[in-house]
Amino acid sequence: MKIEVFDKMQQGYAYTLKAPEGRNFAPDFKPELTPKQMLELGVFEGKYLTDCQAEFPKKWFENAKMSPLKPDIECNCFRIKSRQSLKIWKEKGWIYGPDPRGWFQWYCRYYRGRRLDEVDAIQIKRWKAFKRHKAQVEKNCIPGDFSCRSRQRQALLQWAYNPFF
């Protein structure tokens, strides 16, 4: 299946789905949450993907916490700002390949079945490196105290790690 992309940040890009949705991931990539779950829990202040929903399954957005006009921390699961601007992402070199919105856009496309070996390897390496934050929360928080390190928990959620442990 071929997906054509036309949104505010990307026009004329197309990709082919090469794997079944949510399956056939790289052996070292085991996200704990799906894009749908992440959107329902509340990520990126509700602003992420507001203009490109046509690219993804409608069911992902049925219960998503979205804020189409402006970022709103009330849409975040932990009601805390936990993201940097796209300008900073670009300055730090965190935008790779054909995904101008960064890691989560890559993950959504990967989850759907797009495979780009070089870009996938980079993004999976970044995802694996982020796991250190989960170890920090586990080391410093009492189990079940979700107010402990809420910024790190929100960030974990935004990287497809389950922040509720």
The answer to whether residues 161 and 134 touch, using CB atoms and an 8 Å cutoff, is: yes
pLDDT of residue 4: 96
How many Å apart are CA 142 and CA 46, to the nearest integer? 28
3 state SS of 87 = helix
In this structure, what token pair is assigned to residue 121?
């390897």
pLDDT band at 112 (very low <50, low <70, confident <90, very high): very high
Query: Phi/psi at 4 (nearest 5 deg)?
Result: -105, 135
Is the Cβ–Cβ distance between 163 and 93 less than 8 Å? no
Task: With CA atoms as reference, report the closest residue to 78 among 22, 158, 9, 160.
Answer: 158
Q: Tell me: the pLDDT tens digits for 55-100?
A: 999 999 999 999 989 999 999 999 998 777 778 878 888 888 899 9
Residue 3 phi, psi dihedral angles, 5° rounding: -110, 125
Q: Is this prediction's pTM over 0.85?
A: yes
At residue 151, the pLDDT reads: 95
Rounded average pLDDT over 105-126: 98
- Contacts (Cβ under 8 Å, ≥6 apart) of 78: 146, 150, 151, 153, 154, 157, 163
Predicted pLDDT at 92: 85
